[in-house]
């Protein structure tokens, strides 16, 4: 056996031994209620990095592999790309249209679709070269929201100024069918994990409209929610939709099986805007634009856990990494992106896995 082979074998054995020891220590600690080295009692999620970005960052979307985050700069008409590993902006800002308000990345990670509100267009970025491909796609007046079907075949765009939703075929990057009439001033849109339905917030109507994506027609009556609903996120199992109500500082929860609101609205911070649900479905992260914080909702109890997390001024959107260890928050008032480390706990015990694996990346080294 070569020295390289022996080294690899020994490294593998050491890794297995460390993982085995960690499992034993963690179990022992939970049973006896003690804290092992590298462990601490459960604590609120905290900001671990702040990344300077372009002018008035608005929306953020992360690639499926988690390597890059795409951020729209509302005040500069550009998109910046963050290398999430290096925690820094890479390359020059990508010029797009006027007032880029939203961005979504295709499930295969090859394209990013950017909504240009002032132009009434959609720009398409090739994420391999970080350049815009083709001409901007014309939609309707003042588009603001975007979502892509899980099979990446179609893009749904909310046209706030036209009270409609436009559908784009990603194979040709052309609009298909007629605009779908929804409620007054639609802003956010999210698609169920099975791709069957698109949920649209109608900000001026205080409702959510449901679209059947097979027929691109509205189903049922609009769902009443809170005042001035802006964005929404659907849980990974597709059972619930979380809607931010900017006008009354709450989050409404919709049961997608019955399309009715469950329980009472959840009070969060001032002017809630963006929302994202963790990949395991346990938490919903809400940006409170009016008080510079992020609220965390326990989706099992639909209640806020711990104190709000301070971030930058006027946080607008939030996206969570695919491995569920980081939340990225755009702060339009300070031209930054806050990076929140998401707690990974075993019962009442939160472990810094990095101290046991020899890695500086903490929980990432185990939970990737």
Written as tens digits, the pLDDT of the chain (368 aa) is: 444 444 344 444 444 434 444 344 344 333 433 333 333 333 458 999 999 999 999 999 999 999 999 999 999 999 999 999 999 999 999 999 999 999 999 999 999 999 999 999 999 999 999 999 999 999 999 999 999 999 999 999 999 999 999 999 999 999 999 999 999 999 999 999 999 999 999 999 999 999 999 999 999 999 999 999 999 999 999 999 999 999 999 999 999 999 999 989 999 999 999 999 999 999 999 999 999 999 999 999 999 999 999 999 999 999 999 999 999 999 999 999 999 999 754 444 444 433 332 223 333 332 23
The three-class DSSP label of residue 107 is coil
CA–CA gap between residue 353 and residue 252 (Å, rounded): 35
The ranges assigned to domains in the chain are 57-305
- CB neighbour class for 257 (10 Å; exposed up to 12, middle 13-18, buried from 19): exposed
**Whether 147 contacts 189, CB under 8 Å:** yes
CA–CA gap between residue 342 and residue 19 (Å, rounded): 21
**Whether 309 contacts 45, CB under 8 Å:** yes
- CB neighbour class for 274 (10 Å; exposed up to 12, middle 13-18, buried from 19): buried
Among left, alpha and beta (phi > 0; psi -120 to 50; other), residue 357 is alpha
The three-class DSSP label of residue 6 is helix
**Whether 60 contacts 89, CB under 8 Å:** no
- CB neighbour class for 151 (10 Å; exposed up to 12, middle 13-18, buried from 19): exposed
pLDDT of the residue at 344: 59
Q: Which of 174, 180, 181 is nearest to 154 (CA)?
A: 174
CATH architecture of 57-305: 7 Propeller (2.130)
């Amino acid at each position: 056996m070569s020295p390289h082979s022996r080294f690899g074998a020994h490294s593998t054995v050491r890794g297995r031994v460390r993982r085995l020891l960690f499992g034993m220590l963690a179990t022992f600690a939970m049973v006896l209620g003690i804290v092992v080295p590298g462990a601490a009692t459960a604590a609120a999620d905290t900001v671990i990095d702040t990344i300077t970005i372009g002018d008035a960052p608005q929306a953020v979307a992360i690639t499926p592999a988690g390597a890059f985050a795409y951020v729209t700069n509302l005040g500069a008409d550009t998109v910046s790309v963050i290398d999430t590993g290096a925690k820094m902006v890479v390359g020059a800002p990508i010029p797009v249209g006027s007032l880029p308000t939203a961005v979504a990345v295709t499930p295969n990670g090859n394209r990013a679709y950017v909504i240009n509100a002032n132009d009434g267009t959609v720009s398409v970025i090739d994420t391999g070269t970080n350049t815009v491909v083709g001409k901007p796609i014309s939609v309707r007046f003042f588009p603001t929201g975007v979502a892509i079907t899980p099979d990446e075949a179609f893009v749904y765009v909310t046209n706030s100024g036209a009270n409609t939703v436009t559908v784009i075929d990603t194979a040709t990057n052309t609009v298909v069918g007629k605009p779908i009439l929804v409620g007054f001033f639609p802003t956010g849109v999210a698609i169920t994990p099975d791709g069957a339905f698109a949920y649209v917030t109608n900000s001026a109507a205080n409702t959510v409209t449901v679209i059947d994506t097979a027929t691109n027609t509205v189903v049922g009556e609009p769902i009443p929610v809170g005042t001035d609903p802006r964005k929404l996120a659907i849980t990974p199992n597709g059972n619930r939709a979380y809607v931010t109500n900017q006008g009354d500082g709450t989050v409404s929860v919709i049961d997608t099986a019955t399309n009715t609101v469950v329980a009472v609205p959840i009070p969060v911070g001032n002017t809630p805007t963006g929302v994202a649900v963790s990949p395991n479905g346990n938490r919903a992260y809400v940006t409170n634009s009016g008080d510079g914080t992020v609220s965390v909702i326990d989706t099992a109890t639909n209640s806020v856990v711990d104190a709000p997390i301070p971030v930058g001024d006027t946080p607008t959107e939030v996206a969570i990494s695919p491995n569920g260890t980081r939340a990225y928050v755009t702060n339009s008032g300070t031209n930054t992106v806050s990076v929140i480390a998401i707690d990974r706990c075993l019962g009442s015990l939160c472990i810094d896995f990095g101290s046991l694996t020899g890695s500086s990346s903490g929980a990432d080294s185990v939970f990737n």
